[in-house]
Structure 1
Amino acid sequence: MSSEPRGITAADWEPWYQALDWAFGGIAESTEERRLWRGLVALDRCLGIYDEGQVVGTYGEFALGLTVPGGAVLEAGGVTMVSVAGTHRRRGLLRRMMARGLAAARERGDVLSVLTAAEPGIYGRFGYGVAARSLSAELDKRQVGLVNLPPGTDEVRLRVTTPAEALPACEAVYAELAGRRPGMLERRPGWERLGLLDPPAERGGASERRCVLAERDGRVVGYARYASRVEWRATVPGGPVLVKDLDATEPAGYAALLRYLLDLDLTDRVRLAGRPVDDPLTQWVSDVRRADLTLRDRLYLRPVELGGALAGRRYATEVDVVLAVTDDFCPWNSGRWRLTGGPAGAVCERTTDPAELTLDVRVLSTAYLGDATLGALAAAGLVGEERAGALAAASVAFGHPLAPWLPHGF
């Protein structure tokens, strides 16, 4: 066996992807989904490890643009399709693929590397931290209503259509929102098709997906893509409304959409997954305890080039701090860095000045988008303060008014 990863070609794709399917349980994806991912993945960023011609390791990447605090979009490699065959565990194959992938990302000029983890315990040793979490909710219509809705909710006009017909309007809403919240992905060509993916074989008894548009003065201000599954109990109808996407550029439009979903006939609950942790619905539900709110990890991140990553975002207040960072997996990031900047921009350069805060790259990754504060991480013993006052100032500077959010997986 050659344990070194190598690039793959178009001719290698089918056996490479089949090996990935088997590593994730052997249940093949639908033809529609398989075709979508093949069109989006950067083939020249895919790696394979082979044993006598058989694929025993896979690694892929998407070329993404990630919104960071301040609204800038930074180049990020979206690590995906990672697997090691069960027959070849504990031989260092994953480590080799991750090292090769991050070294190539550095050569390309990527500033960040991001992923969503099937098994979250794996990626901390490669410097990734949880940079954004998500919220799930199940609203039982018999027990939960909406209160304190924003002014103008009743003036929003709703119109039901198909996801395909509504796609241009939905994309315009998404584009307006993408710069507001860290963690959102710039919509690059082809990714709009993700919103149309609805294979019949994967509906689990639910309806075909529909789209409802929220309009004000003839302009679309929000949308929801959803399906419903009617479950009769004797002669009593029930079942969930399954919300795929819910976005709006204004609070009233969002509230009108949520109220519509709660009012749909022949259903008794609304399920929402992958929402921001500060989603407005938490302020509107009449009984938050009965909303069945659940937090989970969502986006994992690490800097590929630490200086570029810290200089690429903006800061809530002026900051001037020397960070001593350890990065065992990408040692070019290790050392002392002086970060200076604020709301207008930032500079981050190497320095020989004494360290004021000490932390590992995984901890910095967790604080990067503002999901966790440096102060909270210090309280967990993960940040050392070498100069009195440095921690409080940096913790405020790294914050953001809105929680980071990854709106869809990859």
Structure 2
Amino acid sequence: MTTELRALGKDDWNVWYDNFLRAFGGSPDLAEEREFWQTLTECDRSIGAWDGDQCVGTAAAFDFRISVPGGTVVPAAGVTMVSVAATHRRRGVLTSMMRRQLDDVRSRGESLAVLTASEPVIYGRFGYGLASHRMSAEIDTTRVRLSVPPGTDDLRLRYANPADVLDVCEAVYARRVPERPGMLARRPGWEQVEMRDSDRHRDGASPLQCVVAERIGGGGGDGSEVVGYARFRTKSDWGPGGAEGVVALSALEAVDPAAHAALWRFLFDIDLTSKIVAHRLPVDEPALHLVSDIRRCGLRVKDDLYVRLVDVGAALRARTYQAPLDVVFEVEDSFCPWNEGRWRLTGDPKGATCERTADAADLSLSVRELGTAYLGGVSLASLAAAGRVRELRQGAVAEASTGFFAAGLAPWLPHGF
């Protein structure tokens, strides 16, 4: 390989970003979109591959905090903007960038790296395992009804300018982060990720709208407390039978079932619409237990967050486990060989230890399978049934699977990066 890897200089950002855009289809970004990503780019965590004065590869990482089973929020590298120019395939550019990036993540003391994959086939060989899914829905609101829980009618809903209520909505979001593995604790600047409202984001729909749910008698200055919000757009359409408008849901968070149901009921009841479209819901979205006809909700599931354990011991110590377990893993990790070998994990709902050991192994697996199971959305038993985890001590799969599997909500990434 004749290319040179170097940290991204601020003066090179536009060339670097243009190379990334070209690899993803070549469509130019609007000025405000470029500015958004340029502001968030951490140049010291970004890599450019250069062939002379030509940029032929890009990779970056964000300084993230992600929730894990047990509610702890741990540091993680959010890997993003990975591309290789079509002129430089099969020259080891991607491998060299992944090597440098994971070495950097380790040097920073971060035990996890996470990403969303444009092509899932790519990242398994670098130790990333599929840890969470997202669900899309197209709900026919002319045929589907909601059955809401007690207390729903006690809430007050009101329209608000999305920017004016951003702080209170972010407070609701922050309360939700420890409750569900895989959520990102939004650092400064990232509160704007769901507020972008260019023509491309609208896709012919209205500007971004927001409705907040308030509980009277809460902590607000007027005796109310914001306990949920929904951000959405509406798109007008008409057919032979009348209005066929669409509600495009961008984000919905609520701190309790009543607020959650009240916001969904509001979306169902918007005048002149016949469909709700949502592209990023958790696979255990609670609204699915309120609908009258699940078959008319147009559900589809897609892969989403991939997790890589950069430091096996630190990562496994950072989360808790549903049931007491004491298990020795034989870990394979050729790309990050410092993880290879035997690790004894002892944990329960209160905490865990994970240290190297010379004891006989109970289970054998690669770091990719550990990443897949890490957030508790995929059981080790399922991976064992696929032949991806090998049982060396009878009963070890069942014991470890029970401990690893999340006791609460399914892991979910609320927005891309």
TM-score bucket of the superposed structures, by smaller chain: over 0.9
In structure 2, the residue corresponding to 1:79 is in which secondary structure? strand
- C-alpha contact 1:4 1:96 (8 A) present in aligned 2: no
Look up the equivalent residue of 1:47 and give its one-letter code: I
Give me the whole-angstrom Cα distance separating, in 2, the residues matched to 1:33 and 1:61: 18
SS of residue in 2 equivalent to 1:157: strand
Correspondences of 1:330-341 after superposition (within 5 Å):
330-341=336-347
Alpha-carbon distance in 2 for matches of 1:10, 1:381: 46
Is residue 209 of structure 1 aligned with residue 208 of structure 2?
A: yes
Q: Which of residues 265, 275, 293 in structure 1 aligns to 2:271?
A: 265
Does structure 1 residue 406 correspond to structure 2 residue 413? Answer: yes
Aligned pairs for 1:183-262 (under 5 A) are: 183-217=182-216, 218-233=224-239, 236-262=242-268
For residue 159 of structure 1, give the secondary structure of its aligned residue in structure 2. Answer: strand
- CA distance in structure 2 between the partners assigned to 1:291 and 1:232 by the alignment: 21
Superposed CA offset, 1:346-371 (max 9, x none): 11111110000111111111100011
Match of residue 277 from structure 1: 283
**Counterpart Cα distance in 2 of 1:200 and 1:82:** 25
Residue of 390, 393, 403 corresponding to 1:397? 403
The amino acid of 2:54's aligned partner reads: Q
1:30: Cα distance to partner?
2.1
Match of 2:96 in 1: 96
Partner of 2:2: 2
Q: Is the 8 A contact 2:4 2:51 kept in 1?
A: no
Q: In the alignment, which residue of structure 2 is the partner of 1:110?
A: 110
The structural deviation recorded for 1:201 is 4.3
Letter in 1 for 2:215: R
Percent identity, aligned pairs only, is: 53
* TM-superposition CA deviations, 1:37-70 (whole Å, max 9, x none): 1111211011111112010000111110011111
Which AA in structure 2 matches 1:139?
Answer: I
Query: CA deviation digits over 1:186-221, x for unaligned, max 9?
Result: 121111111221113442110001100011121111
Report SS of the residue matched to 1:391.
Answer: helix
Secondary structure of residue in 1 paired with 2:97? helix
Distance 1:191 1:141 in 2: 32
SS at match of 2:371: helix
**How far apart, CA to CA, are the structure 2 residues paired with 1:366 and 1:164?**
37
Deviation at 1:176, TM superposition (A): 0.4
AA aligned to 2:185 is E
Q: Secondary structure at the match of 2:90?
A: coil
CA contact (8 A) 1:327 1:333 kept: yes
- Give TM-score, length-normalised by structure 2: 0.96
Letter in 2 for 1:9: G
> Could you list the runs of 5+ residues in structure 2 that have no partner in the other structure?
217-223
- Which residue number in structure 2 is paired with residue 24 of structure 1? 24
Over 3 Å counting, the alpha-carbon distance change for 1:395 and 1:328 in structure 2 is same
| Alpha-carbon separation, structure 1, partners of 2:260 and 2:200 | 30
The offset of 1:235, in angstroms, is 7.5
Aligned to 1:302: 308
CA contact 2:323–2:348 (8 Å) conserved in 1: yes
Distance 1:133 1:53 in 2: 40
Residue 381 (1) aligns with residue 403 (2) = no
Contact 2:75 2:111 in 1 (8 A): yes
Q: 3-state SS of the aligned residue for 2:277? A: strand
What runs of 5+ residues in structure 1 fail to find an aligned partner?
Answer: none
Instruction: Give the secondary-structure state (helix, strand or coil) at the position aligned to 1:144.
Output: coil
Normalised to the residue count of structure 1, the TM-score between the two structures is 0.98
Aligned amino acid, residue 41 of structure 1: T
CA offsets 1:302-338 (integer angstroms, 9 cap, x no match): 1111100000111111111000010111111111000
Whole-Å separation in 1 of the counterparts to 2:381 and 2:52: 51
For 1:319, give the aligned amino acid. Answer: L
Q: Which residue of 2 aligns with 1:318?
A: 324
Task: Answer yes or no: is 1:362 the counterpart of 2:378.
Answer: no
Residue 289 of structure 1 aligns to a residue in which SS? helix
Are residue 84 (structure 1) and residue 84 (structure 2) matched? yes
Would you say 1:140 and 2:146 are equivalent positions? no
Q: Aligned partners of 1:269 and 1:69: how far apart in 2? A: 34
Q: Indicate the SS of the match to 2:381.
A: helix
* Shift, 1:247, TM fit: 0.6
Deviations 1:76-123 (A, max 9, x none): 111101100011111111011001000011011111000011111111
Answer yes or no: is the 8 Å Cα contact 1:247–1:254 preserved in 2: yes
**Cα contact 2:8–2:43 (8 A) shared by 1:** yes
8 A Cα contact 2:3 2:52, kept in partner = no
Amino acid of the structure 1 residue aligned with 2:52: E
Structure-2 separation of matches of 1:91 and 1:263: 55
Distance 1:55 1:10 in 2: 14
Structure 2 residue aligned with 1:166: 165
User: Per the alignment, in what secondary structure is the counterpart of residue 370 of structure 1?
Assistant: coil
- What letter matches 1:8 in structure 2? L
Aligned letter for 1:406?
A: L
Alpha-carbon deviation of 1:143?
Answer: 1.6
Find the counterpart in structure 1 of residue 155 from structure 2.
156
Instruction: Tell me the amino acid that sits aligned with residue 176 of structure 1.
Output: R
Contact residue 222 and residue 253 of structure 1 kept, 8 A: yes
4+ runs of 1 displaced by more than 6 Å? none
